[in-house]
Amino acid sequence: MIAAVATPDVAWWALVPLIILAGAGFLLLTMASLVRRLPAVLAPAWTVAAGVSVLVYLVPMWSRVGSDGAGSFLAGAVGVDASSVFVTGILAAAMVAAALIAHDYLSREDLPGVEFYVLLLLSAAGGVVMASANDLIVLFLGLEVLSIAVYVLAAMHLRRIESQEAGLKYFLLGAFSSAFLLYGIALVYGATGSTNMARISAYLANTVLIDDAMLLAGLGLLLVGLGFKVAVVPFHAWTPDVYQGAPTPVVAWMAAGVKAAGFAALMRVFVLTFGTHVSDWRPAFQVVAAATVLVGAIVAVVQIDVKRMLAYSSIVHAGFILVGLQATTDRGNSSVLAYLAVYALLTVGSFGVVTVVGGTGDSSHGLDSYRGLGRRRPFLAGTFTVLLLGQAGIPFTGGFVVKLGVLAAAVDMGTYWLAGVAMLAAAVAAFVYLRVLVAMYLKEAPTGSEVPGAVPVGALVVIIVSAATVLLAGLVPGPLLDLARDAVPVLVVG
C-alpha cells in the first residue's frame, strides 16, 4: 500500500497577481515564437492589460486580507498580508508606466519590442515574489528572477556602448551581491536552524544565543546583498553609471519597481524577522542611512548629466526610506510604504520627461538639453517642475508629506541626529533640482539645439498622471496615509 503524500496547501486566490504577470510573460513569448511578426502595439497593450488586471484584482484581494487577516501557504514559504498587496500595487503601476514610456522609445530607437515587455513582466513577477516571501530561500529566488531580467534590459540598447557597459557592470556587481545574500542566508540557517522568517523570529524570541557571531555575520551579509538592490551607501557605486547608460524606460522601472521590491524585502527581513535583535542591526542602518543621504546629495550637486543627477537623487531617497525603516515601529513602516508609493510616481514621471527630451539615440541628457525648455515645451517643463519639486520635498506635494513621515518616525524613536542629517541633505539636494529649474526657465536654449518633438501618448499619460497624483497626495494626503497605515507588514506562521 502506497502511503499518501502530504502536499502543502495552496491559496490560489493569493497567487493570482503572480500568475497574471508570469503567465502574461510566457504567453507573450510563446506568441512571438510562433508568429513571425506581431503587431507593434500588441506587446505594450498586452503588458499594460496584465498590469491593469493585477491592479483591479488587488481591490477584492485587499478586502479579503483585511477581513480574514494575513495568512501563509505553501508550507509557510509565502505569506500574504496587506503590505504584500500594497507593494504589489506599486510594482504593477510602475510596470504599466514603464511599458507606456517604452512603446514610442523602442520604435524610435529601432529596438526589439517583444523581448522588452517579456522581461519587464517577468521582472515584475519576481518583485511580487519578494514582496510576499515568508522564507529567505523564496526571497532569494524572487530577487534573482527580478534581477536577471533587469540585467538584460539594461544592456538592451545594442547600438550604445554605454548600455552594454551598464548591463555588464550591473550584472557583475549584482552577481557579487547575490552571493553575499546567499551566504548570509546560509549563516542565518546555521544559527537558527531554519530559513522560514516566522520560525526564525519565534526561535530568536524564545532562545538566548550564547554565541551569536554567526547570526550577526549573516545579518551583515544580508544587508550587503539587499543594500545593493536599493542602492544605499556604500553599495551605490553602480547606480549613476547604470542609470546613465541603460535605456531610459528601463531606468524608470529600476528606480520605481526594483527599489520598491528591495525595500519590501528589507522590511520583512530585518524589521519583522530580526526585530528581537534590533539593537544589533539598527546602529548599522543609522550609519548607512546618514551616509546615503549625505553622499547622494553632495555628489549630485556637481553632476551635469540629468540622468546622473536623478541617479544620485534616487540614492538620497533610499537614505530617507532607510531613516523610516530603522525606526522599526508601525509608524515607521507605514511611512516607508507611503514613501515608496510617492517615490514610484515621482520617478516614472521624471524619467518619462527624460525619455522625451533625450531624443533619438537617447543621448541628450546633459543639463544644456533642458535650457529654455520652459519656452520650447511649456507643458513638458511644467510637469517636470511639479515632479522635481516633489522630489525636493516642497510643501503641497506628495514628496513633502512622505519625507515628513519618515522624519517624524525617526524623531519618535529619539534619533534626532539622524533626522537632522536627513534634513540637511534635503536642503543640499534641493539645489540639484533648482539647477534644472533654472536651466529650463532662466536660460536660453543653445544655438541649433534640437526641440523635443511631440510627447508620445504613452509618455504623456504617465507624466500627467504622475504629476497630478503627486499634487493630489500633497493636498489631500489622508487616503494614501490611511492605506499605508493599514498595510503595516506582519509575519504569519505556516
Which pLDDT tens digit goes with each residue over 435-444? 999 988 888 8
Residue 494 lies in a domain: no
Beta carbons of 251 and 280 less than 8 angstroms apart: no
| Local structure of 41: helix, strand or coil | coil
3-state SS class at 487: coil
In the predicted model, what is the mean pLDDT of the chain?
88
Domain count, the chain: 1
pLDDT value of position 450: 61
Q: Which of 287, 146, 156 is nearest to 226 (CA)?
A: 146
Model confidence at 453, pLDDT cuts 50, 70, 90, reads: low
Range in 107-111, 307-311, 474-478 with the lowest mean pLDDT = 107-111
Does residue 363 sit within a domain? Answer: yes
Secondary structure class of 443 (helix, strand, coil): coil
Q: CA triplet 9, 484, 199: central angle to 5 degrees?
A: 35
As given in the structure block, the three cell numbers for residue 411 are 524623531
Does some domain include residue 14? no
- pLDDT for the residue 449: 59
Q: What are the distances in angstroms from CA 371 to CA 257, 311, 337, 368, 484? A: 30, 20, 35, 5, 38
Lowest-confidence pick of 105-109, 122-126, 187-191, 363-367: 363-367
Residue 130 within any structural domain of the chain: yes
* Position 70 confidence tier, pLDDT thresholds 50, 70, 90: confident
The reported pLDDT for the residue numbered 314 is: 92
* Spatial distance between the Cα atoms of 263 and 489, rounded to a whole number of angstroms: 12
Mean pLDDT of 343-352: 93
Residue 224 has pLDDT above 50, yes or no: yes
pLDDT band for position 1 (50/70/90)?
very low
User: What is the average per-residue pLDDT within 349-356?
Assistant: 91
pLDDT digits (tens, 9 = 90+) for 84-108: 999 999 999 999 999 999 988 888 8
- CA 147 to chain CA centroid, nearest Å: 12
Q: How confident is the model at residue 73 (pLDDT cuts 50, 70, 90)?
A: confident
- Alpha carbons 456 and 448: distance in angstroms, whole number: 23
Indicate the SS3 state at residue 366.
strand
- Say how far apart CA 147 and CA 142 lie, in whole Å: 9
Are the C-beta atoms of 356 and 373 separated by less than 8 Å?
A: no
Within-domain flag for 8: no
SS3 79: strand
Distance CA 303, CA 300 (A): 5
Compute φ and ψ for 80, nearest 5 degrees. -125, 120
The answer to whether position 11 is within a domain reads: no
Residue from 96, 116, 100 nearest 50 by CA:
96
Q: Rounded to an integer, what distance in angstroms lies between the CA atom of residue 243 and that of residue 241?
A: 6
For the residues 377-392, what does the mean pLDDT come to?
91
Is residue 303 in some structural domain? yes
Examine residue 4 and state whether it is found in any structural domain, yes or no. no
Residue 270 pLDDT more than 70?
A: yes
Does the pLDDT at position 2 exceed 60? no
Report the C-alpha gap between 191 and 420 in whole angstroms.
Answer: 37
Confidence bin at 245 (pLDDT 50/70/90)? confident
Residue 142 grid cell? 524572487
Which position has the higher pLDDT, 494 or 88? 88
The pLDDT value recorded for residue 46 is 92
For residues 158 and 174, is the Cβ–Cβ distance under 8 A?
Answer: no
Q: Has residue 3 got a pLDDT over 80?
A: no
**Residue 431 reports pLDDT greater than 80:** yes
Question: Following CA atoms 245, 246, 248, 249 in sequence, which dihedral angle do they give, to the nearest 10 degrees?
Answer: 180
- Please write the tens of the pLDDT for every residue from 201-216: 888 888 777 778 899 9
- Global pTM reads 0.94
Statement: residue 334 has pLDDT above 80: yes
State the residue range of the domain holding 352.
20-486
Q: Dihedral sign for Cα 322, 326, 328, 331, please.
A: negative
Eight-class DSSP state of 274? T
In this prediction, residue 336 carries a pLDDT of 93
Position 5 pLDDT exceeds 60? no
